[in-house]
A and B are shown apart, each in its own frame.
Chain A
Amino acid sequence: MTETTKTPAPDAVPTPPAPRGLIPLPLAAARALLLAGGIATAASAFLAWTWTDEFPGDLTINGYPGGLQWLTFTAGVLTALFALAAYGIRGLGWLLPARNNAPLVLTALGGFAVTWFTVIAISVELGGVVNLEPGGWIAAIAALLPLIGAFALPQERTGDGTKEALKAYVAKPDRIPAPEASAPWVQRAVITVVTIIGLGVFTYGIDTEYGELFVGYLFVVAFAIWALHTAGLLDRFSAIVAGNRSFTLAMGFAAAIAFPFTQTDDHYANIGVNILIFGTVALGLNIVVGLAGLLDLGYVAFLGVGAYTAALVSGSEFSTLSGVQLPFWASALTGAAASLVFGVLIGAPTLRLRGDYLAIVTLGFGEIFRIAVNNMDGDSGPDVTNGPNGIANIPDLNLLGFNFGQAHDIGGFTLGRFANYYLLMVLIMAIVVLVYTRAADSRIGRSWIAIREDETAATAMGINGFRVKLIAFALGAALAGLAGTVSAHVTYSVVPTPYQFAGSTPPNSAFLLAAVVLGGMGTVAGPLLGAALLYLLPEKLVFLQEKSLLAFGIALILLMRFRPEGIIANRRRQLEFHETGQLDVPKQTTLTDEPAVTKAGA
C-alpha cells in the first residue's frame, strides 16, 4: 500500500499517479503471474490431489485429470488464454477487444474458486488436510498465483476505498471497440461453434454425477460467462445473433435435438425431458406474467388439467374413462382445450381484479384444483380422478407405429424411453416458442404490454382490457395443458401432489414463477434457462435436500438485489431496473469506437 516502484518521481508539476493495482507489483510481473499461474493451475489438474478414491471422481491418479480436476484444468486454460490475449498475442486479440482486466480477474477467480472448493471439500469430507496429496497443495498454490497477478494489474481508480477498487476490477468497460464487419458465413460459423460449445457445457452439467462436481461446474460456468460478458464478447455474440435470428433458432433446436444422442444413460434424458416440460410451462407462464403482467400464483393447475385430461383419455385401466384411448394428437388437443376452458372459467371472474388481489385469488384457485382433484375419488365427491391415488399405469404413447416406451436404435445411437419423450417435448417446445414469439410481436402482444405498463391508459387507447387479459390467461393455460399431456405419459401416473403452490421439487407454481423471474421476464431464453437451473439445482445438490427451499429463497433474494431483471434481461426490463437512460439507443450505435458524446440526442 506504500509508495512503490510504479510511482514516478515527483516532478515540479504534480502528475496524476500512474494506475496501480491493489497488490503492489510491476505490470510485467502481474501478467507473468497470470500466465504462469494459469498454466500451473491447468497442469496441477494432472497430479493426484488425494490418496483415496473415497472422494467422488477419483482424484488419485497422476497424469490424468478426473472429475473436479477437469474443471480446474478448464479454468486454468481460460486464465492462460486471456493472459496471452492481454499480452497481445496474434490471433487471440478477439478474446479481449477492450484490453480490459476484468476477464483476467474473473477467470482467475473462477479457477481459484473451483480449486479451493475442491481442496476444501476433500479436507472436510475425508476429515482433515492430511488427506491432501502434495498435488492438492500444489493445485491450491497454483490457483492462488493468477489471483495475485490479477489483483496486481494496474487499475484506473475513480474513487478511493477498497470496495470501489474491487468493483472496478470486475467492471465492464463503458466502451468496447466495435468488431470488424464479418462475412455472413463467418457469423454462422461463430453461431454454430457457440451452439456446439453450449451443448457440450449444458450436457456436462446435466451429466454431473455428484453434487460437488455440479457446484464446481457452476463456479466455472458462472465465472467464465461473467468474464466473457466483461470482455464484451457476449454483446458481440448477441449482435451476431440479432442479425441471424432464424439461423440461431434453428441451431438451438438442432442442439436440443442432438442432446439425447450424446447421452448413454436414459436417466439423463429423463432429466432433460423434465427440464423441457418445466421450461415449456414456464414459457407459457411468461405470457401471463412477463407480457401481460398478471401475477398468476396458481398456474401449475393448468399443467394438472392437461395431465389429468390426457390421463383420462389415455386408456389407462385406472381412468374412469378407461374405455377411451385417443391417439396422441387428439389427447394433446383435448388436454390443451380442457386447460383453455379452465383458464377462461378461472380467468373470467378473477381478471376483474388487479395486482395483489389477482395474485391471491389465483393462488386460491390453484389450491382449489389440487384439493378438488384429491376429493373426486367417488367417496367425498364424484369419481373422476381416483383421489390421492391418481391415475396410474398410463400407457406409453404410440405415434405412427413408433412406440415411445421402447428403446430405438437410430444411426447407431440408442434412444431410450425418456429420449423419445424428450424429442417429442422438443417439438412441443418449438410450438410454444413459436406461439410465444409470434404472439408477443403483434397487435395483441403490444396490447398485453400496454396493459402491463398502464392499464388505465391502455383502456383509454381502445384496448378492451378484460378481453385481452383473458386471451393471455387462456393462451397461457392452453400451452401449460399441452405440456401437461406429455408429462402424464412421461411419469406413468398422475397424482394430485405435484400440482401445489410450493414444494421442494419443480414444477409447482412457486418454482414456475421463480423460473420466469430468475431467467428473465418477457424473454424466450430466460424462462428456459431459469427452468433448467431450478430443476438441476435440487436434482444435483442432493446434500442440500431439506434445506433446498432455504437455499432457493436466499438465491432469489440475492438475485433480486443484484440483478432484478433476471439472468437474461429483456431490453425493457433492463432499463426499468437500471436508470442509465442511455441503453435504448438503437443497436448500431452502442458498439462504436467513437467517443460517446451525443448519445443522448438531446
Chain B
Amino acid sequence: MTTPVLEARDVTMRFGGLTAVRSVDFTVNAGEIVGLIGPNGAGKTTFFNCLTGLYVPTEGTVSYKGTVLPPKPHLVTQAGIARTFQNIRLFANMTVLENVLVGRHTRTKEGLWSALLRGPGFKKAERASEERAMELLEFIGLAHKRDHLARNLPYGEQRKLEIARALASEPGLLLLDEPTAGMNPQETRATEELVFAIRDKGIAVLLIEHDMRFVFNLCDRVAVLVQGEKLVEGTSEVVQADERVIAAYLGEPFEGDPGEAEAAEVEAAEAAAEATSTTSSTKGEAK
C-alpha cells in the first residue's frame, strides 16, 4: 500500500518512573476510520497527546504521510493532523463562527501588517476564510447559530463545533478524543453519521471511545491499549472475540478458575448464611 497517513513507531512516554505508553507501533491508512479503545488509564489520551505534539514522546517517532512530525502542536496541525479534546475545549467567549475561523489559522497567512493596512488581499482572504467556515458550519448543521457564543451552545452542539473547528484546518487526519462522551443515543447516532461523512471527504479518522457499539459500528480497525501497551489490533470481529480484551475490560479470572461445581457450592453456602443472618441482622448481606 501507499504510505500510511499516520505512522507511530515505537512510541514510549514516561512520566518519571511511570511509563504511560510503552513502545506502541500504530498506523492509520488513508480513508480509514480507526478506533483506539482500552480501559480507563490505559494511556489512550497520553498517546493522542504524543501524536499531536502536546507531549514530546520519550522514545519513538510519529510521522504524517512519510514525514516525521516535530513535537510542537501548532506544527503538527499545520502538517495536517487536527484534533478535538476529551473535555471540550472551545473558545467559550468567541462566537461559533469565530471559533471556526481560528481553526483556519494555519491555512491563512495574513499577519499584523496586512491586518493594519487592510489591502485588497486581506479582505479577499478574510472573505474566503469566512466562506469556508460557513461551509463547515453548514456541514455540521450549526450555520444558523453563527453569532452565538460557543459557551451557550448545548453540549452536543459544542462537540460538533469542536469537530468543525478541527476540520477548518483542512486536516488529512482527524483525531477525536471521546466524541460521544456524555451524548444520548440519538446524538451518538448523529455523530456516527458525521464521522462517516468526514471520512467520505477523504479525511482519515482516529478516535478514542468508550461506547463499544459506536466503535464497532464505525471503525474499520480497532486497536486496544492496555496499561500503555498495544494488546490487539484488527477488525471489530477480531477484537471482540479476543479473550485478552475481554479480560482487560472485565478482569481476569484468578489462578485456578473456580469450576461450576465450586460456584454452586458457594451459592448454596451464601443462601444458607443469608437464611441464618436474616434473623439476627436487619438486612441480608449484599453480594
Contacts and interface: CB of A to CB of B under 8 A. Distances in A.
Interface of A: 434-435, 438-439, 441-447, 449-450, 453-454, 456-465, 471, 475, 572-573, 575-576, 581, 584-586, 601-602
Given A450-B94, A461-B169, A444 B74 contact: no
Given A453-B94, A475-B112, A462 B169 contact: yes
| B interface, size bucket | 35 or more
B165 A435 contact: no
A576 B93 contact: yes
Interface in B74-120: 74, 77-78, 82-83, 85, 89-95, 98, 101-106, 108, 110-112, 114-116, 118
B248 interface: no
B278 interface: no
A263 B60 CA distance: 73
A141 B10 CA distance: 87
A461 B77 contact: yes
Most B CB contacts (10 A, CB to CB) among A435, A445, A460, A475 go to: A460
Nearest to B151: A575
B116 A439 contact: yes
Nearest to B114: A442
Contact of A601 (B98, B105, B145): B145
B91 A453 contact: yes
A602 B156 CA distance: 12
Contacts of A444: 110-112, 115
A401 B82 CA distance: 59
A533 B151 CA distance: 33
B23 to A, nearest CB: 25
A458 B151 CA distance: 16
B35 interface: no
Nearest to A440: B115
Contacts of A471: 112
A470 to B, nearest CB: 11
A576 B91 CA distance: 12
Contacts of A447: 102, 105
Given A463-B105, A601-B145, 9 more contacts: A434-B116, A438-B116, A439-B112, A441-B115, A449-B93, A458-B91, A462-B74, A576-B93, A601-B148
A449 B105 contact: no
B154 interface: yes
A574 to B, nearest CB: 10
B194 interface: no
* Top-8 shortest CB links A-B: A462-B106, A442-B115, A462-B77, A457-B89, A453-B91, A572-B93, A459-B73, A584-B149
Given A446-B94, A463-B74, A464-B74, A458 B54 contact: no
Nearest to A471: B112
A573 B165 CA distance: 22
Most A CB contacts (10 A, CB to CB) among B52, B110, B115, B129 go to: B115
Contacts of B148: 584-585, 601
B187 interface: no
Contacts of B101: 443, 446
A572 B149 contact: yes
Contact of B149 (A439, A459, A462, A575): A575
B256 to A, nearest CB: 48
Interface in B218-242: none
B122 A442 contact: yes
A443 B105 contact: yes
A444 B122 CA distance: 12
A445 B115 contact: yes
A444 B110 CA distance: 8
Contact of A457 (B90, B95, B106, B154): B90
Contact of A443 (B78, B115, B145): B115
Given A443-B115, A446-B101, A462-B169, A602 B154 contact: yes
